[in-house]
């Protein structure tokens, strides 16, 4: 998962929302503090979502389904010459 993906940035914005509000609206928090909190939340959110995606893994395949590389070549690509 990319550290700049939408879910990572959304999690960072939600978690650091009070600090961002304090910096941009109230003025009770300095801008530097709010941005550092946002970056820390973005890194932790990225690590957390990456761990979850590694644990979950890709979707399982159906029993009869194969990858495109594993499929047999079609009948038109046989090495035997066709007779007319």
Q: Report the residue count for the chain.
A: 84
pLDDT tens for residues 21-36? 999 998 898 999 999 9
Query: Which region holds residue 4: left if phi is over 0, alpha if psi is between -120 and 50, else beta?
Result: alpha
Place of tokens 């066709």: 82
pLDDT tens for residues 5-17? 888 999 999 999 9
pLDDT tens for residues 45-69? 999 999 998 888 777 788 776 766 5
DSSP H helical segments within 1-84, as ranges?
6-15, 17-21, 31-56
Neighbours of 9 (CB within 10 A): 17
Q: Report how far residue 51's alpha carbon sits from residue 44's, in angstroms, rounded to the nearest whole number.
A: 11
* Residue extents of the structural domains in the chain: 1-42
The pTM assigned to this predicted structure is 0.64
Say whether 80 sits in a helix, a strand or coil.
coil
76: which DSSP letter?
G
């Amino acid at each position: 998962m990319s550290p700049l993906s939408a879910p990572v940035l959304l999690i960072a914005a939600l978690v650091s929302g009070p600090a961002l509000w304090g910096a941009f609206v109230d003025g009770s928090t300095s801008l530097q503090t709010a941005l550092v909190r946002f970056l820390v939340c973005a890194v932790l959110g990225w690590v957390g979502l990456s761990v979850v995606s590694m644990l979950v893994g890709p979707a399982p395949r159906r029993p009869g389904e194969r990858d495109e590389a594993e499929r047999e070549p079609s009948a038109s690509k046989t090495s035997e010459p066709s007779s007319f």
